[in-house]
């Protein structure tokens, strides 16, 4: 994990482009909410293992929103 100032700088880089602003907002939310961060990490690990299919990913996305 990057030091605080470097993480903030990277998030700022994403924030500066309208195309990636939503991603920057997600990163900010993950900084503030440990539970959200744990859920997203778990989902990414499941995708890497191929266990979360398209329907499961859609359901997980809707649960977060």
Question: What does the pLDDT read at residue 40?
Answer: 87
Place of tokens 């924030």: 15
pLDDT truncated to tens, each residue of the chain (65 aa)? Answer: 667 778 889 889 999 999 999 999 988 898 889 999 898 888 888 877 776 555 566 666 666 65
User: pTM of the predicted model, to two decimals?
Assistant: 0.61
DSSP letter assigned to residue 41:
H
What are the structure tokens assigned to 57, written together?
Answer: 């990913």
- Calpha distance 44→37 (Å, rounded): 11
Cα 38 from chain centroid (whole Å): 10
Residue 31's pLDDT is 87
Q: Dig out the tokens for 41 from the structure.
A: 């990490």
């Amino acid at each position: 994990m990057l030091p605080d100032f470097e993480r903030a700088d990277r998030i700022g880089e994403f924030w500066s482009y309208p195309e990636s602003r939503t991603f920057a907002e997600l990163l900010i939310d993950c900084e503030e909410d440990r539970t959200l961060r744990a859920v997203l990490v778990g989902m990414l690990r499941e995708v890497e293992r191929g266990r979360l299919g398209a329907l499961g990913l859609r359901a997980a996305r809707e649960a977060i929103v």
